[in-house]
Every structure is written in structure tokens, then in C-alpha cells.
A and B are shown apart, each in its own frame.
Chain A
Amino acid sequence: MKLTQTNPNFFKSIFNGRNAVIAIPYIWLLLLFLLPFIYVLKISFAETIYARPPYSPLLIWGDSWLPSIKASFDNYLFLFSDSLYIKAYLSSLKIAFISTILTLIIGYSIAYSVARAPTRWRGILLMLVILPFWTSFLIRVYAWIGILKTEGLLNLALMSIGIIEKPLMIMNTDLAVYIGIIYSYLPFMILPLYANLEKMDMSLLEAAADLGCRPFKAFWTVTIPLSLPGIMAGCFLVFIPVMGEFVIPDLLGGSETLMIGKVLWTEFFYNRDWPVASAVAILLLAILVVPIMLYQRSQEKAIS
């Protein structure tokens, strides 16, 4: 058999129904992720100009038949020269990290109690966790303004009980941002944790008790290690989007609340500096590549 000869069924074998189905997610990712990403990457190497669109072209078609490339790293260098951006990245990392830990603690206790609730209650309890998704995310964050503001529900309630005399200044502080983030992202923590804890074999805890292990210690030596895949999944599902969060710090945070998502938005819409905004976005993605890959690996492990 000649190896060079093309099999007549070759094309048929590629364009079959099975491959077509497999191709759908790839085409989706290509069109809606990879192409926009390349576009943003391209803009990040451009210069700001007063034009429409407001950036210089990457390829310049001159006299020769090959275009010349005009790319600059100025935007990236600029991000490192102005301490605002570094501070914003670090502040975002800090806020994402702290709120992930807090969401984990709250989410774990909720997921644990739902997973240990009588079977007939679990569906309803889980439903309650998911229920907020029925309302727009934006509206729910706005609702927190009504609760947290100086003359808001929380202060009114606390003052009417007599716990405080002066209203608490929560609104427009980092605290309000943390409350908003934890509230909004809690379901993303609870759901993977619940999926993990619910299928845990209860006889393992009985075995631990049988072998002389106190319930509290059994929790740390058996339950926690076995729920690690759920903990990883939940933490990444919260950490990654919180890192780029813009709406919550914008609505609930104050002028001191610095988050890279907010900076990006400002660059894009107020300063109309698309190249710098794109560079901010690319750098944010670069920072998130590490946790995203860790998440991928933990998911693969969980599957195998």
C-alpha cells in the first residue's frame, strides 16, 4: 500500500457526525473566546489616537507588499511605571483571597449542613441556595445598598433594638465590598462543596469513631481531606471571577476601594484609553492563568 495515496474515505471520516458534535464547543471557543482575546491582545500593543476606533493599527500597509508591524510594549511598561496599577492588582488579589477564605468558611458550613440534612429537606435547602439567581445580579447588589447605607435597614434595625446609637458607616467601605462579594459568590462555593460532601460515605466517619477518633478530630482527618476536591473547585470558582470583579466594588465600595476591574472600566470608558485598558486585561489574565490551571488540574484529578 502506498502511504502517499490519499484514502478516498479520508474526508468522509473527518466530516462525520461525531466530529461535528465535538467541533461545536471548539468553534464556540474559537469565535467567542480566542478571536476576541487575540483582538484585545492586538489592541494592547497599539497606541492611543484620537480616532475611531481609538487606537493605532498594528499592521501598516506601506509601499512594499508586506505590511510593517507597529507594536509597542509601552502600555505594559506604563502599567509598571504608575504605582496605581500595581496597587490595584495587589489590592484585588488581597480582596479576592480574603473573600475566598471567608466564603469557604461560610459556604462549607452551609454545604455541610445541607448534605447532612434529612433527604427530603435537601432539595428544598439547595433550592434556597440557588433561588437568588432568579433575580438579576445587579439588582441584588443594589439591594445591599438599601441594607447597608447610613439610613438603611441594618442601621435602622440595630438602632431600634438599641444595640447602637449612631449608624454604622459600612456603605462605601471595603467591608461593604466583602459583604457584597461573599453574598454574591456564596452559591458558587456551596454547590461544588455540596456535590462532594453529599456523596461522602458516612460509614467512614463511623469507622473513624469506631477506631477511637473524636467527632471533631474525625472532621479534620477524614471529612476535610476527602472534600479537598470540592474545596479546590469552590475556591477557584470564587477567586477567579472576584479577581476581576467590577460591579460590586463600584456600587458598594468607596473611593479607597481599589480593584483592577474598576481600574479597567475607568480606563476603557472614562479615559477611552483602549490600549492601556487592553494591557490591564491581558495582565489580569496572565495573573489568573496560574489559579485557572490549578483549577483545571484539580478538576481532572476529581474526574479520574
Chain B
Amino acid sequence: MSENIKVSPWLDSSHKPYIEIQNVTKRFGEFTAIDNLTLDIYKNEFFSLLGPSGCGKTTLLRMLAGFEKITDGKILLDGEDISEIPPHLRPINMMFQSYALFPHMTVEKNIAFGLKQDNLPANEINQRVEEMLELVELTDFANRKPNQLSGGQSQRVALARSLAKRPKLLLLDEPLGALDKRLREQTQFELMDIQEKLEVTFVIVTHDQEEAMTVSSRIGVMDSGNLVQVATPAEIYEAPINKDVADFIGDVNILKGIYKGQNEIGTQLLSEDSNSIVFATQDAGASVEDEMWFAIRPEKLEISRTKPSHNHNILKGKIEDIAYGGSFSTYHVKLDNGKILKAIRANRERTKEHHLTWDDEVYLQWAAHSAVVLLS
């Protein structure tokens, strides 16, 4: 998570938001891509827009850049309404998903392109280009053409080019999408370092939830043109607002059931799967007999061959599949009614004695505070 923001300005009403997206709607003909969306982003945030393809996240980013005209509503940057300002006059730069490097220009010329548009003196441009090349460690590649660069190098040139003008806001459209996994993870940390060093506000669009979790100060989860939940990565993961968010971010087990009121442990749910009452500490805020769901992350489901001593929040099943992941294993446990739950267990022991294996009869249990109560 980005540490640039030591406090959480979004919790403090005295902080003024840096970017204010106010009731923005974008229609393409009959199709509504963004539907009356309102969002505040604060200075120095590393904000991620996350969502499945077609959810409108890229459209929102392109409206911030000025490539798409807003149908309704307005966008303020640092208190100034930028809705009507054309892209070439906005103090905002974008790093394109395809990188969009000019193929007929060298790395150096690509980075200098934006600075030249401002008619800066030549020595200042050179100095700034030099700085940028150092920042992305490409000084030796200054005279290469884009087609002589690797994917990772192109990505860094694109980043350097978009940062050269010291924008108030940097937009990144799937910046790491074209890189392989190892390079992507390494680059995520580089991005965070650069963001901290330059103190630029970053808004990133991604469909990779792990990436969003790693880099962001906050994540906005989008679906069908609107924000479903805006929160820190930990909040999104541990307290998703509904089944879709829970399912989209990380793995999750969803138990469906009927709300049976509160007791001394907490919320009681008559589970469809076990035909018994299961509990969660969190308050439901629903009326009795409502349909309701519990979401339990796989690492919070404890798996064991022996029957636990207590007798609530226990489900019995059989191991159907095991995915060995080195440091941990994921067990697919089939309940009596055929439903499959996932449980993750760290592989702490090297010996085989404690190992669970296929077709083992196992008990799944969870602490009442590990389950999230969802009403939709």
C-alpha cells in the first residue's frame, strides 16, 4: 500500500479534495458508460479504478485526460473546473496502455516532446530529460528508437515521458498489463517509489486486483458505470460491501441463508448448505427471515481432520481437490450438499504427517468475527 499518505485525508472533512468528480455522466448514443458518478481524490493519492472490462473505468480515465467529453456533470482539479478544457491544455498527463511512444523519435525525443510544446529553453529541456532518464534508469538508451526497446524499457520510457512535464495528475491506463508477472511485481514497487519521490497524484486503471491492492492508497471498485465501493485495499478485502465486490477482490466462500436474528454471539444465519445456524459477530441490520449471505475468505477457514470441541460454525465435507502452492495449499472441500468451499492452509511442516489428502473427511470452522455479513 502506498505510504505517501500518512494520514487518511478522506476521513478528515477539513481536507479539500484535489480532484472532484461531480455527478458525471457519459453516454455514447444510447449506451451509458458512466452513470452519475461522484468521487473525490486527494493530493498525493495513488488511487486505483478497478473493475471488470466494460465497467467504465477507462472512460472515466479518458474523461480526466480530456479525450472524452462529459455528457453531464463536471470535473474539478485543484478547485478549477476542467470539464471544458481540451486535453492539450490540461495540466494532466497520461501513460497509455499501448505506451503510444512515437516510433519515429528516439527515447530522448519522446521524453522531450511534451517539454518542447511548452517552448522551454533547450538547456532546461535537456536537463529535465536527463533527470527523467536517470529516474527510470534508461540513460544508456537515450538514442534508441522505441522498436529497439524491450517491453519493460518501453514501459519506463512511457512513464518518463508522462512525468517529464511534472503534471498535477498522472493517469495510468493498465500501465503494467503488457509485462510478465515478475517484471510487473518489480515495477509496481518502482511505481510506488517514483510516486512518493515526485509527489504526484496518481490515478491508475487496472483489472488486476492484486496490482490494485499492492499499489493503492484507495481503490474504487466499479461496475456498470458506477462506483460500488471506494475504500482502502484492506477495507475492500476485509469488509466488502456486497457479494460482487467480495468475489471480484480475492477468493471468497459465500454462504447463503436466512437471517434468524441476533443472539449473544452475533448474527444468526440459517445456512442453506449445512441446514444449521451459523454465526458472525458483525451486525446484520436486516429484518428477520431476510435472505442474507456470509462471506468467508479461504485463509480464514480452518481445516482439520478432528472434530472441533465447540459446536458452532462447523461444516463437514470431503477434500475434493488440492492446489499445492508451495508456501500454502488450497483445499477444495465438497460439502454434503455438493457445494465446494475453498480453505487455505500455510504449509508450516515439512513432514507428511499433518498433511491432508484427497477424500479425507474434514471439518471446516471459522471464528465468528471472520465472516462478513452481506445483504446483497
Interface positions of A (Cβ within 8 A of B): 201, 203-204, 206-215, 217, 222, 225-226
Contacts and interface: CB of A to CB of B under 8 A. Distances in A.
A54 B69 CA distance: 75
Interface string B190-234: 000000000000000000000000000000000000000000000
Contact of B100 (A207, A214, A217): A207
Interface residues of B, number: 24
B88 A214 contact: yes
Interface in B89-108: 89, 92-94, 96, 98, 100-104
Given A211-B165, A212-B165, A213-B117, A204 B102 contact: yes
A211 B65 contact: no
B151 interface: no
Interface string B287-306: 00000000000000000000
Contacts of B66: 209
A222 B101 CA distance: 11
B103 A209 contact: no
Nearest to A218: B88
A201 B98 contact: yes
A211 B96 contact: no
Select the residue from A204, A206, A207, A209 with max chain B CB neighbours within 10 A: A207
Given A208-B102, A208-B113, A211-B113, 13 more contacts: A201-B98, A203-B98, A204-B102, A207-B96, A207-B100, A210-B65, A210-B88, A210-B94, A211-B114, A211-B162, A212-B118, A217-B117, A225-B104
Interface string B63-87: 0011100000000000000000011
Contacts of B165: 211-212
A206 B87 contact: yes
Interface string B153-191: 000000001100100000000000000000000000000
B93 A210 contact: yes
13 contacts: A203-B96, A206-B87, A206-B94, A206-B100, A207-B96, A207-B100, A209-B67, A209-B87, A211-B88, A211-B93, A211-B165, A213-B88, A217-B117
Contacts of B161: 211
A214 B116 CA distance: 12
B67 A206 contact: yes
A207 B88 contact: no
B88 A222 contact: no
A279 B92 CA distance: 65
A205 to B, nearest CB: 9
Contacts of A212: 88-89, 114, 117-118, 165
Given A211-B165, A212-B117, A225-B104, A206 B88 contact: no
A206 B96 contact: yes
Contacts of A222: 102
B98 to A, nearest CB: 5
A217 B117 CA distance: 9
Enumerate the 5 nearest inter-chain pairs by beta-carbon distance, A residue then B residue, closest first. Answer: A211-B114, A212-B117, A207-B100, A203-B100, A209-B87
